[in-house]
Amino acid sequence: MPDDFAQQPPSPPPPPPNFGGYAPPPSPYPYAASYRPLPPRQNRSPWFYVLAIGGSFAAVCLVLWGMGWLALRSLPGYNNNTSGLGLGNNQIGVIDVSGVILSADAINTPLRKFGDDSSVKAIILHINSPGGGAAASQEIYHEVLRIRKEKHKKVIASVESVGASGAYYIASACDRIYANEASVVGSIGVIMEWMNYGDLLKWAKLKNVTITAGELKDAGDPSRDLTPKEQAYFQSLVDNMYTQFVHDVASARDTTDEKIKPLATGQVWTGKQSLSLGLIDRVGGFRTALIDTAREAGINGEPTVIRPQKNKRTLFSLLNDDADDLFPNPGQLLNRAPGFYFMWK
């Protein structure tokens, strides 16, 4: 009987792996039988280097394009609301006169830039304002007249919802005034106001101490009522400004003071009423004013609208502002001097 349990010879080790026809030589060391060498490093295709170099070049071009785009945005004539890049010769400059008018610089600065730019064929003041400071409104009025006279450019006013008092003062200096039928127009008049907190001081048991030289030096002191002489004094100032308002509107509208005075009651009219009263020239919105102005300036096709670049306030600029701009001192609310306004309220 054969010995079934006879010791069998050991099985030969498995052949080493073949990597692409490459077989490593047998190792003289028994522990190297489990070692599996890494495959040889293959040579990269030439297309790999073409794509790598091309991708790097495209990335550099993208960065340069972005830098050029940011530089273009900083140009005065560029604006996101334009239909072009602001570099052609068929441009209409549009300046928004919105909110209460407190400073003339915000309007006069772009007015001067558009006036000096030969590619800007005409200027439209897009008005939506109840007016504002008397002096600021008057200063913009004279700048509009100067642009028309010295630069020989059309300046058109387009009233959106409100073009009253100081805003109408500015509009009257333009070559033509557009308004919608339901727009509010007019309010030719002057108002002077301030806050009287005398009763508040009495309640708080405080006294205002003022030393002056000159009978009317402290006229308008908000801690007390006006005297009859102070009342007459301020009324004379308001009347004088009112006369200037009426005369300037009449002069710019090519009419007489006598024809404007009946309309200078401080009241407003709709755009439809204003047309028959001679306060505006045409009924129509901004689009109508834009197309009419473009055709008159010799622009064929769709005009390019450019607006002044707006200064965006960043978090860094807010943190560097004066703290009083962010959190007004309560004492400043009481220190409010009398002001003269061409404003509809």
Catalytically active residues, by annotation: 165, 217
- Where helices occur in 75-133 by DSSP H, the ranges are 105-116
Structure tokens at 134: 């008397």
The torsion defined by the Cα of 175, 178, 179 and 181, in degrees rounded to 10, comes to 130
Structure tokens at 26: 């047998």
Structure tokens at 286: 């901004």
- Where helices occur in the chain by DSSP H, the ranges are 46-73, 105-116, 134-150, 166-172, 198-203, 228-252, 257-260, 271-277, 286-296, 315-320, 323-326, 330-334
Residue at token pair 């701009």: 325
Residue 62 to residue 54: CA distance in whole angstroms:
12
User: Hey, how many other C-beta atoms are within 10 angstroms of the C-beta on 118?
Assistant: 9
Q: Is there a contact between 183 and 151 (Cβ–Cβ < 8 Å)?
A: no
Largest CA distance in the chain: 148
Nearest to 178 by CA among 161, 190, 196: 161
Q: How many residues does the chain have?
A: 345
Structure tokens at 83: 């239909």
> Which positions ≥6 away from 237 have C-beta within 8 Å?
192, 340
